[in-house]
Amino acid sequence: MATEFHNLQELRHSASLANKVFIQRDYTDGTVCKFQTKFPSELDSRIERTLFEDTVKTLNNYYAEAEKIGGQSYLEGCLACLTVYLIFLCIETRYEKVLKKISRYIQEQNEKVYAPRGLLITDPIERGMRVIEISVYEDRGSSASSSGSSTTSSSGR
């Protein structure tokens, strides 16, 4: 199904424009990294509410695990302090380990859940942990009206 577009102008005016939905941070628990689980209206017709909420809740749990203050983090902190923080040249911090897990999870979710529905999640770390950016791709065969707001058609990445 490789379609050839002869110029990008034609691309932009076609029905296949991408839209982006941003899931903002939820600061009600303080400065811990947590995203709002409120279902955005732009995704209403694209994905089931439960799937979306599951993804966000799992991500929130991962971040909570990364930022947990407990025995392991104290141990890591004390050990690091004693070695003048040089130990981090050799080993990864727990936060970094969890971020890798998150990366793999997002990739897996994209492959299994979101890509078949024409959506794509961007890892929040690439957006400064401010937002979960969900790119909405139009189905080329569908009607011209885009889902969600038609007043803003933002440029794609």
Q: List contacts with other proteins (CB under 8 A).
A: 1-8, 11-12, 16-18, 20, 22, 25, 27-31, 66-69, 73-74, 76-78, 80-81, 84-86, 88, 93-96, 99, 107, 110, 115-116, 118, 120, 122-123, 125-131, 133, 137-140, 149-157
Least distance to other proteins from the beta carbon of 151, Å?
6
Based on CB atoms, which residue is closest to other proteins, 58 or 110? 110
Smallest distance from other proteins to CB 49, Å? 21
Least distance in angstroms from the C-beta of 57 to other proteins: 20
| Per-position DSSP letters for 110-129, written without gaps between them | IIIIIGGGTEEEEPGGGGTT
Beta strand 119-122 pairing with 131-136: antiparallel
Q: Which residue has the tokens 């889902």?
A: 147
